[in-house]
Amino acid sequence: MSTRDLPGPVADISEARRLQARKHSAVGWPVAGLLLLGVIGLVMVGVATSRVGVLPALVGALAALIPVGVVFAAIVWIDRWEPEPPVLMVGAFLWGAGGATACSLLLNGSVIGLGELLFGPSEHVFFERALMAPLVEEGAKALFVVVLWFWRRSEFNGLVDGIVYAGLTAAGFAFTENILYFGKAFSESGWGSATGGVIAVFILRGVLAPFSHPLFTSMVGIGIGLASRTTDTTKRVLWPAAGFALAVLLHAAWNASTLLGGTGFLNVYFLIMVPIFAGTGWLVVWQRKREQRIVADQLPVLQRAGLIPRSEVEMLASLAGRRGWLRKVRRSAGVEPAKAVRDYQIAVTELAFLQHRAAEGRTTSAVRRARRERLIGELKAARRSAVGSQEAFQTARVKIHELTQSVRRPGPRVNADGTSRRSSPPPTPGPPATGEQPGRRPESRPQQGPGRPAPQGRPPRQQPGPPAPQHRPGPPPRQ
């Protein structure tokens, strides 16, 4: 018998082995990258120590922790709807703190020599700080975001994702740069006051401008976010290029204002930087609301596909509902079941964004199927982990046995454009009920709320005995 005569697909062991190899590769490469970035970070610690000394470097590191903590908390708040993988977030920060800083130090050293050669030893400062330093530093920071976009394009669902990765890279860069600035100020003037020393530098870099580097590099993130939302090849090139040009321009204006000092610095700060920062903040809030609308619109589609129960749709549609769900689970079931519920929420969000991209035609069917299978596997695993404690989903008003059911694949139930596809059950022999088509049962909907799925419709049972006449009352005819 040939393969095409078989009733179903033949199990392919080689495919299972390839899948396992892909899983190992997906874990191994990020870990290796983190180790490499960690080594680069240690090298940068040595560089900072050799430049300013051990004690100034320690003072600079302690002072730099304050602004970077504020920036990191803001980025995590931005990323609440669809949290990015922790490995990639740590990698972005380490690249900024180690890789981007190392590249900038090496290239800026070459630029100094070029500036002195072109403009002389007394006129090269403006060329270095206001022209070349922004170009070199923004290029080094943007490199990680661009590479990540090519490598893991599925992680970019819009502007917020680009801003998050760009902001983390810039936060790492600013952290190392602040260590050098604070350490140098301590070695020259000690703690000082508002006019000099560590305190003066901290006011400038930690109070007035902790978001300066993240603001510059977020322009690159916005460009990549816009490029991820279009299928036009030209726009995919122009949007990141425009974002990079704007980042360099803002960085150059900031560096030039520090050289002007006094009124020039204040004018640039209040007339340019503050409005742009406020506009970027408004854009982030608007995009977070857009993400919420996308998820809320796709949840009924996932529910009709049998991926989530109806009772969870309302809780998953808002951050307040998700937080309330997690609080109840944490209080009644513990930390581990709450983590499983959190993983389940993230998997549902990823599926919603995948369905949205498919509806807009921004993903191929093969990529969509592979990613959907992976996300459904993660959703199943999170449910099974939460079942380990029965209070976890009982708290969420969902029956436990529903979590252990096999999740239906969305392929047969959901079209590529996000609409639900229904199919009728096979014909049933026997006389049809009144008002039904011969040989068909009423359509059934999958997974109606908590509990078991609704039973298939059946024709009503006929009463025993001979049928009554259709047009006139009276006793049945004789046999």
What Cα–Cα distance (Å) separates residue 362 from each residue in 176, 211, 322, 426?
A: 38, 32, 28, 35
Stronger pLDDT, 337 or 114, i.e. the higher one: 337
pLDDT (mean) for 65-73:
92
* Tens digits of residue pLDDT in 225-280: 999 888 888 999 999 999 999 999 999 999 999 888 778 888 999 999 999 999 99
pLDDT (mean) for 393-402:
38
Residue 17 has pLDDT above 70, yes or no: no
- Residue 28 has a pLDDT of 54
pLDDT (mean) for 61-86:
89
pLDDT band at residue 44 using 50, 70 and 90 as cut-offs: low
Stronger pLDDT, 409 or 362, i.e. the higher one: 362
pLDDT (mean) for 305-329:
88
Residue 96 has pLDDT above 80, yes or no: yes
Return the SS3 of 309: coil
Instruction: Tokens for 319, please give them.
Output: 């951050």
Residue 471 has pLDDT above 60, yes or no: no
pLDDT band at residue 407 using 50, 70 and 90 as cut-offs: very low
pLDDT (mean) for 380-393:
64
- Residue 163 has a pLDDT of 95
Q: Quote the percentage of the chain above a pLDDT of 70.
A: 69
Q: Which of 135-149, 311-325, 399-413 has the lowest mean pLDDT?
A: 399-413
pLDDT band at residue 387 using 50, 70 and 90 as cut-offs: low
- Residue 41 has a pLDDT of 63
* Tens digits of residue pLDDT in 328-386: 988 988 888 888 888 889 889 988 888 888 877 777 677 777 888 888 888 878 877 77
Q: State the Cα–Cα distance between residues 110 and 112, nearest whole angstrom.
A: 5
Stronger pLDDT, 139 or 309, i.e. the higher one: 139
- Residue 38 has a pLDDT of 63
Dihedrals φ, ψ of 428, to 5°? Answer: -115, 130
Residue 324 has pLDDT above 80, yes or no: yes
Q: State the Cα–Cα distance between residues 259 and 237, nearest whole angstrom.
A: 34
- Max mean pLDDT among 27-31, 157-161, 437-441 falls in 157-161
Instruction: Tokens for 244, please give them.
Output: 């990079």
Closest CA to 97 of 73, 64, 128, 66: 64
* Tens digits of residue pLDDT in 199-216: 999 998 999 899 999 999
Stronger pLDDT, 325 or 408, i.e. the higher one: 325
Q: State the Cα–Cα distance between residues 38 and 43, nearest whole angstrom.
A: 9
pLDDT band at residue 217 using 50, 70 and 90 as cut-offs: very high
Dihedrals φ, ψ of 409, to 5°? Answer: -70, 140
Residue 147 has pLDDT above 90, yes or no: yes
Q: State the Cα–Cα distance between residues 223 and 219, nearest whole angstrom.
A: 6
pLDDT (mean) for 388-406:
40
pLDDT band at residue 2 using 50, 70 and 90 as cut-offs: very low
pLDDT (mean) for 73-102:
88
Residue 52 has pLDDT above 50, yes or no: yes
Q: Residue 387: exposed, middle, or buried by beta-carbon count in 10 A (0-12, 13-18, 19+)? A: middle
